[in-house]
Amino acid sequence: MSAGARAEPVSADPPAPRVVLGVGGGIAAYKACELLRLFTESGHDVRVVPTAAALRFVGEATWAALSGHPVASDVWTDAERVPHVAIGRSAELIVVAPATADLLAKAANGIADDLLTNTLLTARCPIVLAPAMHTEMWEHPATVANVATLRDRGVLVIEPAVGRLTGADTGKGRLPEPEEIFFVARRALLAARATAGRGAAGGDAAGRGAEDPLAGARVVVTAGGTREPIDPVRFIGNHSSGKQGYAFARTAVARGATVTLIAANVTLPDPAGVRLVRVGTTEEMRQATLAAAEEADVVVMAAAPADFRPAEYVTTKIKKEEAGDAHVLRLVRNPDIASELGERKRPGQVLVVFAAETGDAVANAKAKLARKRADLIVVNEVGPEKVFGQETNAVLVLGADGSVVEIDEAPKEDIADAVWDLVARRLRPPP
């Protein structure tokens, strides 16, 4: 190299996100192995910290082999490295799955009697807890109070799923599926990194950065397409897959909202942490949505309710031989759920409606926005190979205040997050 020449800087790959996976002592501990695989295969550096009870369900060697890191549950192993402080300080995200009632109680009350609870106390990063326990334990006033305390401190506690529990029991308390926990945790990590990139102040004592305005909000989201029966085997429906509505629900959970998802004829996996209400017809969706909206801070009408239904339902299958070459089907108009929500909207409540248009999109959407008394309307163009069933979307968002925001094509989860940002400004306007 000649005198005065400067060496080119050596480029390096960005460091892998540092994740701590805590594992509580519940039967669902085996599902954490799949969660660990999802993290490691997507490029995360994962340190597993199980409780002593968790190691009775899944052994230390399994966690070490899957993570590539040594595993300990006590504060005495490698004491010279001060692991009970170092692990929490270095983590960018902590996920605990399953989080037992015992772990929730210790975390809420600052008890630190093993490596995992010490790590939770020293962490200053996002913390996601995925509870799993019997229904009676989840509904016990002590657990309810502990969860409320943790959420008040900024910890993201995912609502458990409803389903088969240990033994023959069924109810609320089942660990959500690993893929859905992974989605929530990864969105929390991305949000924290984005906040850090904008130069926000460090996290608070609860282990999270600047509070998301959506945290704690009560949210109702509708998804899918309703079906209006003609006879026992036929119906009127549409092509809505429910993917955009589910994206709204999943991202709202990741931002700390309490979410009720009203789904019509959707076959997608249940999102983690939502209260799921399944409906079939527009009238069923109407009743469920109006009831849920009474206590909601935000209602997002992402579903595609059928505008019309058959005037008469035929109780036996219509035979083509009897119908002849032309069968006349008389239709009547369905109730307009969004308009009813607009009429009933409380002060401070935010209503988001959707407009799937094939022409004159902006003009039609403006009229619809005013007619339904909504705060925001999300406009997208529909047609062959557009929107329905796709993984991406591109929308225009019009506000009742005259604002216009164009969101370029992106994954539907990113579209949902961008709309949530607009909702948050109206839910809690900046000072």
Catalytic residue set = 238
Residues 6+ apart with CB under 8 A from 199: none
How many CB atoms sit inside 10 A of residue 251's CB? 27
93, two tokens: 């995200």
Q: How far is CA 85 from CA 54, 99, 116, 117, 122, in A?
A: 21, 21, 10, 11, 6
Q: Which residue has the tokens 């249940």?
A: 270
**Helix 141-152 and helix 101-109: axis angle, to 10°?**
50
CA dist 118 and 136 (Å) reads 28
- Per DSSP bridges, beta strands 376-381 and 350-357 are parallel
Q: How far is CA 195 from CA 11, 173, 252, 405, in A?
A: 25, 32, 17, 22
For residue 252, give the H/E element and its range: helix 243-254
CA dist 338 and 340 (Å) reads 5
Kindly report the backbone phi and psi dihedral angles of residue 226, in degrees, each rounded to the nearest multiple of 5, phi listed first: -75, 160
- Say if CB 280 and CB 264 are below 8 A apart: yes
Beta strands in 364-425 (DSSP E): 376-381, 392-399, 404-411
